[in-house]
Chains A and B, each alone.
Chain A
């Protein structure tokens, strides 16, 4: 067991005690997961949840029978009119499966047969901070472990030179970009060794990875040899075996100094691969660059790669901002799925795309022929999943004519979590950690695996 999760956690003795030695609980369908988090709340109405009846109702009031007195964010709570706004972007059915995808996502449209669209996601959270915190940790307030920390705790790493949980963040339109917080990939009450390690686009992808100028790799080796010798001397003088663990962590750091630059060095990626991910793939810090890195990490056995892309918060000027967001993410996300598939890795890699909530069918701010906006909407939104354990070419769940209420097969955030864990061979009711006297789970006391989307 120690070898399985030895990255970052050798000394976390108390955590080893708590982990369930029976993990995985059953044969996993996916060995790893790449989660593309679209932060801000992408509009399901413009992207996936096609509502043709809105064309005729455009500009009319949202019927009270649909709204049902539902709570609104304080931003539109003072709004007196709720005019319906249709999507100004055309939709079409794609591929063999006939999934609806709008013209804003031409690349995603082309791989629709590989994806499973869940149109009936819902949450209770109507604001960004609690919304993303809920998606990431199963609870709306800070303090609980993120899904990646749970997986890192439960399954450990497959690569002894890279972390089990790696995070990358890119910015979007910069109009209404929601700030991120480190705790979103934090370990909550789990030992801190399970937190996500952020890979940065700066010169040091991992904080302080590089030796300072003036100390080269040979000198660092000499340094580490001497340090280990002194530490071993200390171990024999004190009997403290924890010292052995520290020596091992320094060696791991030394290996990371090679493995991380090797990971982020795209010079050996063939031109056709680079092209597939789009022009941004050459620019560090972009979503496209991160998608390509995600594939490289998946190849190297990183358990959970999570990409955060900000800027999906279209309260207004949606027609300017949303195409910009789509242009930055559509091609690389589709390329990632395609690339994994061609390498035979999609079978055991789970890819998830989605945000923290959806957007309202009614317009926020002025509704003009060329301009409109949408507020946060927790009652339905769309995520797509692909790969390990998930049925391809499926559209699951449906909403009413207004994309306001779910009419069929609701999937709660807890259900999504349960399903993700299931794909990785984990029974979500059995991955627990005792804290403050309670056996905590990612899914709290909720969650049902969505069996009908499993392959």
Chain B
């Protein structure tokens, strides 16, 4: 029965009258595509099947002596019809194992189409849209919609009343309910629209669907699902939309902002679009496998969002329905697999490539700090003559035995005299040198090994199953450096290429810059940089451990050290190469000072200068130097606090790309170059390099898809269903548009207007079609349940974020602040913990009341309210809007703390905002949510509830107190608790109304 319904629906929207000739694209292609093409389509060649029903020449060509699948005008000779209707089960098409069947009505359509001449058409969405003539003075939306209505014998509905219309438009344009003043003024609708479109809330409303499409989230998505930082990209989107950046620019910057000439930071941030996918940091994954998954996710997102094509279906084989080959799929991959990212993402935070993405405020602070540093540096440099003079004086007075080693940021200093280790014991170094993975630090010492094996030092915790911390160790003379949480897969493991000789003293320095990468670790032997082999470069977590520094053994290694260690020093800074080089200097200070300044080596000069600064300089020099250091430190610390964004950044040498057989990462086939889909226009002449060319191709005027696909998604935002219902699929399996000429007109106009999104919105919202009442008669509902013919205005449940934002706005709790890090509003305790994901640290104050766009999105535990109300889950690109109706939603609206709080605050507002008349208060609260006055049928139950609750709470004050304790916002103590509690239940009822959660 359900099946029949869907076919009936299909017929309604295709709108085939019996007298009207059939159209291949509208009437025939859907049947052939859905029932035949999985075998007789673009991938037929790989199945050894000759007949192609996606190509006219094959479908009408000779199969074998005189037999043709389709013989125009002659259904009885067409093998296609014979096989579909064959009484012989073995011969009947489609084969039983496919599960597909062709209905009698569909056979009749095929037969009629063949009889009428079997005229073939190129697939509609691959033909460039054309703008049909619209009589002047007519709104194009109304022109096309009414043409169709007339054909169906239907009339449009009357216009919606002003209040309903303004509430509808406010939600559509800003995602928020209207201000009462807007509803109650006599400002023209057009002026109001202009104001709404100019409001900064417009960008927020538009952005949220873009965030769904680009699978934006605040965590990495796999396993531990730790935080990432992408909100600067989110703010870029809001800002670009608010500035009404032309959509072609909007696309170009997001796909290829990094490749634009002299790309700005903002343009680089935009490319975060292609980095919003999940990143796997699980121990033991094969990096190559995930590198392919990341590129595949980018291709899938790009093709869904801009082309409306399911290109991902061509990953393992040629597309079954659309003319997209597997090779073309990997040509797309080649645009997106060349950014030098790690296959295994970092567990915490962003993974490279990324950019520092200061906010405008941070940028100005940064500029100030940079200027301050420049001037402090200049002041210090200006003292050079004075410094040189003072240094010469100081050098002259140096005692013969003067020695010096830098103590700048010295952390610990041990073993001034060599200490012997016998290969059996260890030595306690005390609670020193406690460093972690974001610290800069250095360890220096002298060492002489008798065996070439054994532990030098470590700060590892030994009580865990797998020791974690840091340590240095000798194995066959090679110096091993380990920073580890788990040696297997969460560590930096390095080994010197050259072995140290036995029984010889060396001066060793190990420095680390806090970068969390092996490249941030340096080893110096006798002042010279020593080459290291990287055994593992996969440090994910902080290795800082409480405890002690130990010399000579332990830390999970078996061998103990035999030999001598001396002059251990740890520094809370990464020594610069020159500092490390100074370690090689063996001459006493005074001896160096006797070398004439002109004859000193660079290192000697550096050494003497540093020694002078630490030992000899006067207070003026010291202070000026300290001021410069302080300015550098401030700049450095501030720079560290600036959020980053993961971005696209091209490697200079493009990676080779191969067709991966059956889509598997480890089965490379033919090598491919970058390229676009053959069924569409080629790359524009003078296309930019790589992704930039791809972006230019996407927004090229000749591209038949991008504008249509975007217009269609906006239509879906407004009317609930796209003109093409399958917003994600404009291919052969997608739905034929309900109003093809309208879609094309809007798409062409969109491009001709310079891709002006606000103009597109206004065109649709000014139409009579949009402004119709959404009230529906039983007859019309029966005829057109989904409102595809648009004989009435849109009416459907608000998206999740608007349901919540409305409660915040209507009550006055909303903190309407733009941008910034994501916030953590109310959610029941323990949800993250139950999945093994740590604690949810709820915000206090402002963070509870921001728009839902800014709610922190953890992929493995999405915000429960959003998930219950059909939000996209941000795992992968989602463009179709879902709407269900469940008891879980009812429970949220009735019992969720944030809705009870909103009800209380709304009640306060109603009590304070209207005089003491009950009905006027009810009306006021009602208007704050629904923009209209309640009907008698609505006022009565609210009054009844109020009376019931007043009675109840007066007799049970504790109940009133309990209800009023919901939420963190202060309660208006001037209102009697029983009264406020009773009004809270009334306000809660209003927020639970079907009308309240519905765009009418």
Q: Measuring CB to CB, which residues of chain A are less than 8 angstroms from any residue of chain B?
A: 1, 7-13, 16-21, 71, 73-76, 78, 126-129, 141-143, 169, 171, 175, 177-183, 186, 191-193, 197-198, 200, 202, 204, 206-216, 219-220, 222-223, 225-227, 229-231, 233-235, 237-243, 245-247, 249-250, 252-253, 256, 310, 315-317, 364-365, 375-376, 429-430, 432, 434, 436-439
Contacts and interface: CB of A to CB of B under 8 A. Distances in A.
Nearest to B780: A239
B895 A214 contact: no
Interface in B402-437: none
A8 B884 contact: yes
B749 to A, nearest CB: 28
Contacts of A438: 310, 313, 320, 733
A239 B733 contact: no
B775 A238 contact: yes
Contact of A126 (B284, B728, B828, B875): B284
B886 interface: yes
A194 B9 CA distance: 24
Contacts of A126: 284, 286
B60 interface: no
Contact of A208 (B859, B894, B963): B894
Contact of A238 (B293, B774, B889): B774
B795 A182 contact: no
Complex A-B, nearest 7 residue pairs according to Cβ-Cβ distance, in ascending order: A437-B733, A214-B963, A73-B284, A233-B937, A11-B885, A181-B860, A226-B941
Contacts of B949: 219
A316 B489 CA distance: 14
Contacts of B344: 74
Nearest to A200: B834
Contacts of A376: 284
Interface stretch (B20-28, B63-71, B673-681, B954-962): B954-962
A230 B938 contact: yes
B734 interface: yes
Interface in B716-745: 726, 728-729, 731-734
A253 B785 contact: no
Contacts of A238: 774-776, 795, 1000
Given A142-B278, A241-B781, A242-B885, A178 B836 contact: yes
A408 B890 CA distance: 52
Contact of A219 (B223, B310, B944, B948): B948
A197 B888 contact: yes
23 contacts: A1-B1, A9-B884, A10-B885, A19-B2, A74-B283, A74-B286, A127-B285, A128-B223, A129-B222, A181-B859, A207-B892, A211-B894, A213-B962, A216-B959, A222-B948, A225-B941, A230-B941, A234-B993, A235-B994, A237-B775, A238-B775, A249-B890, A437-B733
B151 interface: no
B284 A436 contact: no
Interface centre among A74, A141, A316, A438 (most CB of B within 10 A): A74
A242 B797 CA distance: 10
B760 interface: no
A200 B320 CA distance: 43
B882 A191 contact: yes
Given A129-B282, A246-B885, A206 B795 contact: no
A223 B989 contact: yes
Interface centre among B488, B875, B937 (most CB of A within 10 A): B488
Contacts of A209: 891, 895
Contacts of B322: 437
Given A208-B891, A237-B775, A239-B775, A316 B945 contact: no
Contacts of A208: 828, 891-892, 894-896
Contacts of A17: 2-3, 5-6, 9
Nearest to A124: B664
Contacts of B962: 212-214
A332 B344 CA distance: 38
Interface string B459-480: 0000001100000000000000
Nearest to A233: B937
A135 B726 CA distance: 29
Contact of A75 (B1, B283, B828, B882): B283
Contacts of B836: 171, 177-180, 310
A249 B797 CA distance: 14
B853 interface: no
Contacts of B993: 227, 230-231, 234
A178 B223 contact: yes
A249 B887 contact: yes
Contacts of B3: 17, 20-21
Interface stretch (B140-148, B261-269, B861-869): B861-869
A16 B945 CA distance: 37
B963 A215 contact: yes
Given A169-B834, A192-B867, A208-B828, A230 B963 contact: no
B117 interface: no
B39 to A, nearest CB: 12
Given A175-B465, A219-B948, A438-B313, 6 more contacts: A20-B3, A191-B870, A192-B870, A208-B891, A242-B994, A365-B466
B729 A192 contact: no
B489 A75 contact: yes
A226 B887 contact: no
Interface string B655-668: 00000000000100
Contacts of B127: none
A315 B466 CA distance: 11
B992 interface: yes
Interface in B835-873: 835-837, 859-862, 864, 867-868, 870, 873
Contacts of A13: 785-786
Interface centre among B320, B785, B890, B952 (most CB of A within 10 A): B890
Contacts of A206: 888, 891
A129 to B, nearest CB: 5
Nearest to A210: B895
A432 B960 contact: no
B105 interface: no
Contact of B280 (A129, A215, A310, A432): A129
Nearest to B896: A208
A389 to B, nearest CB: 22
A216 B953 CA distance: 11
A13 B785 CA distance: 10
A230 B942 contact: yes
A364 B486 CA distance: 13
B514 interface: no
A249 B889 contact: yes
Contact of A239 (B222, B320, B321, B776): B776
Nearest to B895: A208
Contact of B835 (A180, A191, A210): A180
B900 interface: yes
A208 B900 CA distance: 11
Nearest to B777: A239
Given A182-B860, A208-B891, A316 B286 contact: no
B995 interface: yes
Contact of B734 (A210, A219, A243, A437): A437
Contacts of A249: 885-887, 889-890
Contact of B959 (A71, A214, A310): A214
Contacts of A7: 887
Given A17-B6, A191-B884, A239-B775, A222 B945 contact: yes
A212 B962 CA distance: 8
Contacts of A436: 310, 312-313, 728-729, 733
A226 B989 contact: yes
B137 interface: no
Contacts of B834: 169, 180, 198, 200
